[in-house]
Structure 1
Amino acid sequence: MRFELDDAIALLERTPATLQALLRDLPNAWTRGNEGGSTFSPFDVVGHLIHGERTDWMVRARIILEQGESRPFDRYDRFAQAKESAGRSLFVLLDEFATLRRENLAALRGLSLHATDLDRRGTHPVLGPVTLRQLLATWAVHDLTHLHQIARAMAHQYRSEVGPWDAYLGVLRCQGHSDPA
């Protein structure tokens, strides 16, 4: 499937409602549990998505459009949510994410991008040259990745409770990554 901005926006604007429907008012046992070790809980994922709304997607899109490859993106702190979300409720985080996403999508639409803009390049600090098209496609797939991660973390909470049905529940054995194309 080829990237289309309107299709990506259609997906991106649904993520807040999807998270609200899945997580709001659930007990902490569902929202604070992870898959072990330093993996993310659903609560952590929402905080991570908020941090991305503030510091990643639109910030980097503007860098590409205004400065191109001459100014590399700032490094992204994948774990910043630990401090930023401390002492806050999931209810508050879900609402904040919805607000930030709505604002960012309005800003994205306001850029009135043309097809040629999508091929403009920026510099990722690790990956090197990237296009605006790749950044925006990544934003959409990033949402899907974290929805998948939330489902895995939640399923993990009943991992030892499902008995022999675990053989039929792929979410309990999923490594969380697609095979390379």
Structure 2
Amino acid sequence: MIFELHQAISILERTPGVLKSLLFDVGEEWSTANEGRDSWSPFDVVGHLIHGENTDWLVRTQHILEHGPEIPFEPYDRFAQFENSKGKNFEDLLNEFEMLRAKNIKTLKSLNLTNDDFERKGMHPGLGEVTLSQLLSAWVVHDLGHIAQISRVLAKHYKNEVGPWTQYLTILNFTPKE
């Protein structure tokens, strides 16, 4: 499939609504549950998405447009949400994410990107040269991966309660990497 900005935006615009619909007012037991070890809760994921809105996807898009591959992207702190979200209310995080995403989508649309722009390159500090279309595609897949992750964490609340159906419910049998 060829990258299409309008399709990417369609998914990116929906993510905050999906998360709010799924998670708003679920209570602390659900919002802070995780899969054990170093896995993330829905609270952690939403904090991570907020950090990405502030420092990753759109910032890197603008970086590619301004600097190309000559100046590498700033490294991204995948764990900044643990400090940034301390003491915050989960519903406030959901609202903040929704507001930031709407602002970033508005900015993205205002860039009036062309097919030639999608081939422009940037330099990722760990991956090397990347194109703008790869970055924007990764933004979409990143959202979808975290929606799946949150769904999996929530489903595991009833892992024992489903009894023998566990064998048919593959979402319950996934184990995150260490």
Q: TM-score, normalised by structure 2?
A: 0.96
Question: How many angstroms apart in 2 are the aligned matches of 1:147 and 1:176?
Answer: 15
Query: Within the alignment, does 1:42 sit opposite 2:39 as a pair?
Result: no
| Matching residue of 1:165 | 165
- Deviation, 1:30, is 1.1
- Deviation, 1:35, is 0.4
Question: How many angstroms apart in 1 are the aligned matches of 2:60 and 2:175?
Answer: 29
Counterpart contact for 2:8–2:140, Cα < 8 Å: yes
- Deviation, 1:2, is 1.6
Counterpart contact for 1:46–1:93, Cα < 8 Å: yes
Q: 1:131 to 1:175 in 2, by over 3 A?
A: farther
| Matching residue of 2:100 | 100
What are the residue-to-residue correspondences of 1:59-138 with 2, within 5 Å? 59-138=59-138
Pairs aligned (count): 177
- Deviation, 1:174, is 2.5
Percent identity between the aligned chains? 53
- Deviation, 1:31, is 1.0
Question: How many angstroms apart in 1 are the aligned matches of 2:172 and 2:85?
Answer: 27
Counterpart contact for 1:149–1:176, Cα < 8 Å: no
Question: How many angstroms apart in 1 are the aligned matches of 2:143 and 2:3?
Answer: 15
Question: How many angstroms apart in 2 are the aligned matches of 1:41 and 1:130?
Answer: 30
Question: How many angstroms apart in 1 are the aligned matches of 2:75 and 2:151?
Answer: 28
- Deviation, 1:162, is 1.9
Query: Within the alignment, does 1:8 sit opposite 2:12 as a pair?
Result: no
Counterpart contact for 2:50–2:96, Cα < 8 Å: yes
Q: What one-letter code is carried by the residue in structure 2 that aligns with 1:38?
A: D
- Deviation, 1:176, is 6.3
Contiguous gaps of at least 5 residues in structure 1: none
Question: How many angstroms apart in 1 are the aligned matches of 2:162 and 2:37?
Answer: 22
Contiguous gaps of at least 5 residues in structure 2: none
| Matching residue of 2:26 | 26
- Deviation, 1:29, is 1.3
Q: TM-score, normalised by structure 1?
A: 0.95
Counterpart contact for 1:148–1:176, Cα < 8 Å: no
